[in-house]
Amino acid sequence: MQDTDPPKKLPQGWMISCPEATRLSSERLDRRLGGWELARHRFHLLICVMCRRYARQMGSLRKLLHHHGDRTDGLPEVVLSEEFKKKLRDRMRD
């Protein structure tokens, strides 16, 4: 797991921690990151295989939810009961 260990000699400020990188992997889906934040985030992902995987999975999760969230044929077992439908039809006739 060598590539998950941050290199020892780097200018101060370039290194962010894994919790910080995961936070940015989420926030970049909700806001535009600043230049410096973005650079540090990218740099961390270059050297950390776990955070890279995490960031990729965040993207997949968003895509999957966008893709499937509206497609209600995915839950065929969820149906209104006949009783509920009858009551509703009756109410709509009034």
Residues making contact with another protein (CB under 8 A): 4, 17-19, 22-23, 26-27, 29-31, 50-51, 53-54, 57-58, 60-62, 64-76, 78-80, 84-85, 88-89, 91-93
* Shortest Å, Cβ 91 to another protein: 7
Q: How far apart are CA 52 and CA 45, in angstroms?
A: 5
Read off the DSSP letter of residue 12.
T
Nearest to 27 by CA among 14, 39, 37: 37
Cβ closest to another protein, residue 9 vs residue 91? 91
